[in-house]
Amino acid sequence: EKLATVLAFDLGAGSGRALIGELLPEGPDGAPKLAVTEIHRFPNHAIAVNGHLHWDILRLLHELKAAIRKAFQEGYRPQTFGIDTWGVDFGLLDAGGELLGNPYHYRDPQTEGVAEELIARFGKESLYEQGGLQFMPFNTINQLFAMSKAASPKLAAADTLLLTPDLLAYFLTGKKVCEFTMATTTQLYRPKEQAWNTELMEKLGIPSRLFLEPIHPGRTIGPLTPEVCEELDVPAIEAVAVGTHDTESAVAAVPAKEGEPFAYLVCGTWSLLGTELAQPLVTPEAMALDFSNEGGVGGTYQLLKNIMGLWILQECKREWEEQGRDVSYAELVALAERAEPFRSLINPDDPTFYAPAGMVDRIRAYCRETAQPVPESMGETARCVLESLALRYRQALEQMEELTGHAYEGLHMVGGGIQNKLLCRLTADAIGRRVWTGPVEASAIGNMLMQLVALGQCSNLQVARRLVAASFPVEAYEPSGAAEWDRAYEAFKQLAAR
Ligand code: LFR
């Protein structure tokens, strides 16, 4: 009685998950439902080797294979699978189709100062006009230019570049594709022209032969190879090019009201605050306010700001654990809840918070330098981070309103970060508007939606979003404490303008 069964892989910078989605026929309320079950979860680590940071890509492949086997062993019969991951990262293949080295982690130090160098050489306006992206240090362009400057033998030998989700799909199907939403995170794609920026590539010594013509989400890639089927003892299920950039899959799963502009916040290691548009908004104003135009599913463009996110707290937690002070997120949130409000604030997007390690001290140093009380306890530190994020969200939301001229009624929060209910409440308070939360597994669900499109079960993004709204509960947070938040926001804006 299931209409379809699909398998979604959602890989984040800290962990990966495999989830089964089952499309159930219309219930008594006349709407079909999507039922989601997590079947596998595994850690994902940055691994430091001789001054470089890498992903353990074959380990990730191993976990994907384990999950496919497990799905069938547990009696599920997925017809298709899709893979979404964080943006920007890639592997290089030689002419024989073999992987050249371990892919770099986007926080690898090779990109230090590279964006600045590109800006000095070509001008910020010109680069933004071409690529439409915020100048994030990790953008693919910076990684490839760093390799080009270092005369990387890998770059010289490379025949094809595959972005992480496409690379994993290639390992499983033998088919090389380039999925559109990931392509738009490279800063080497021209959103306005819908084409690769081969001219810029040539100027930077990045071989344009590496790049395949992008395909849009909803297209099939191909079946598992006979070798993989034999190894796992499974049938040749088909890979679908979903919104392979996790952020775009998450946005596809925002249960927004139809026909109205909406504001969203995808909450994970990064916080992405944005809105969906039909066309990229590549203007000097959008550049000045640091907004990106990323390709989305269903032919959309996402105007969004990349905010440092829960990364800062994840790093603090990791550090405390390394010191033997084990603390769960629930405990941290409880400590933050009891800590004194508005004691000290940081600008989460200050570059000092970008690199791994030493986060607790960097927060302290920041507060000292800005003449604020220094957070001492775990609770004070967590409170400082969470309030600061909430204030940064308010600023980004107001800036977005300036750009689009639309007043948003509230904010849809999705993704793993919404399990932190304190953050959701602080966000509602900080923006002084309603916050709606859910679903938590937005990226995996959005991934499934594009598989359902490929299977002919959903005709378009609107229909897919209706399915999300019918299948997953949404929680609402009402704002309170306007006066004290307004005061804190003034102080925050001073910090952010430093
Ligand atoms: C979120 C995300 C962001 C991207 C960052 C780095 O997981 O994909 O969209 O900017 O990771 O790739």
Using only C-alpha atoms, what is the Rg of the chain? 22
Instruction: Kindly give the distance from the C-alpha atom of residue 187 to the centroid of ligand 1, in angstroms, as a whole number.
Output: 13
Alpha helices by DSSP H, listed for 48-113, are 57-73
Residue 27 has pLDDT above 90, yes or no: no
Under DSSP, the state recorded for 99 is B
Ligand 1: centre distance to CA 139 (Å): 10
Cβ–ligand 1 contact at 86 (below 6 Å): yes
Q: What is the pLDDT of residue 475?
A: 98
Q: How much is the pLDDT for 209?
A: 98
Kindly state if the Cβ of 106 falls inside 6 Å of ligand 1: yes
Which pLDDT score, from 0 to 100, does residue 389 have?
A: 98
Is pLDDT of 375 > 90?
Answer: yes
Q: Candidates 86, 267, 302, 314: which one to mutate for ligand 1, based on the most atoms within 8 Å of Cβ?
A: 86
CA of 220 to the centre of ligand 1 (A): 24
- CB of 306 sitting under 6 A from ligand 1: yes
Which tokens go with 173?
A: 């199907």
Verify whether residue 246 is a known catalytic residue: yes
Shortest-distance atom of ligand 1 to CA 272: 9
CA 87 to ligand 1 centroid distance, Å? 5
> Does residue 365 surpass a pLDDT of 90?
yes
88 close to ligand 1 (CB < 6 Angstrom): yes
C-alpha 270 to ligand 1 mean position (Å) = 6
Q: Which of 246, 350, 361, 429 is catalytic?
A: 246
Nearest protein CA to atom 2 of ligand 1, as residue: 86
Is ipTM > 0.85 here? Answer: yes
Residues 6+ away with beta carbon under 8 Å from 279: 301
Dump pLDDT digits (tens) for 133-148.
999 999 999 999 999 9
What is the DSSP annotation of 264-304? Answer: EEEESSSEEEEEEESS----HHHHHTT-EEEE-GGG-EEEE
* Predicted local confidence at residue 356, as pLDDT: 87
What is the residue with the minimal CA distance to atom 10 of ligand 1? Answer: 87
Burial of 405 (0-12, 13-18, 19+ CB in 10 A): exposed
**For ligand 1, what atom is nearest to the CA of residue 87?**
12
Instruction: Report how far ligand 1's centroid is from the alpha carbon of 247 (Å).
Output: 7
Ligand 1 atom nearest to 294, measured from its CA: 9
CA 302 vs CA 13, 138, 249, 252: distances in Å: 21, 19, 11, 11
**Mean pLDDT confidence for 76-85:** 98
pLDDT above 90 as % of the chain: 97
Is pLDDT of 357 > 90?
no
pLDDT at site 288: 98
28 pLDDT band, cuts 50/70/90, is confident
Rounded Cα gap, residues 205 and 203, in angstroms: 6
**Ligand 1 proximity of 272 Cβ (cutoff 6 Å):** yes
pTM over 0.95: yes
Q: Is the minimum distance from the CB of 266 to ligand 1 under 6 angstroms? A: no
Name the band, by pLDDT with cuts 50, 70 and 90, for residue 339: very high
Which atom of ligand 1 is closest in space to residue 443's alpha carbon?
A: 7
| pLDDT, tens digit (0-9, with 9 covering 90-100), for 345-354 | 999 999 999 9
When pLDDT is cut at 50, 70 and 90, the band that residue 1 belongs to is confident
Mean pLDDT across the chain, nearest whole number?
A: 97
- The predicted-structure confidence for 398-444, as pLDDT tens digits, reads as follows 999 999 999 999 999 999 999 999 999 999 999 999 999 999 999 99
pLDDT at 142: 98
pLDDT digits (tens, 9 = 90+) for 254-270: 999 998 999 999 999 99
Q: Is the CB of 87 under 6 A from ligand 1?
A: yes
| pLDDT (0 to 100) of residue 337 | 98
* Higher-pLDDT residue of 366, 357: 366
Whether residue 246 has its Cβ less than 6 Å from ligand 1: yes
Q: Whose CA is nearest to atom 11 of ligand 1?
A: 86
**Ligand 1 near 218 CB (within 6 A):** no
Q: Strand pairing of 90-93 and 80-85? A: unpaired
Over residues 102-117, the mean pLDDT reads 97
Cβ 247 under 6 angstroms from ligand 1:
yes
Task: Report whether residue 244 contacts ligand 1, using a CB cutoff of 6 Å.
Answer: no
The residues that bridge with 435 in the sheet, in sequence order, are: 411, 477
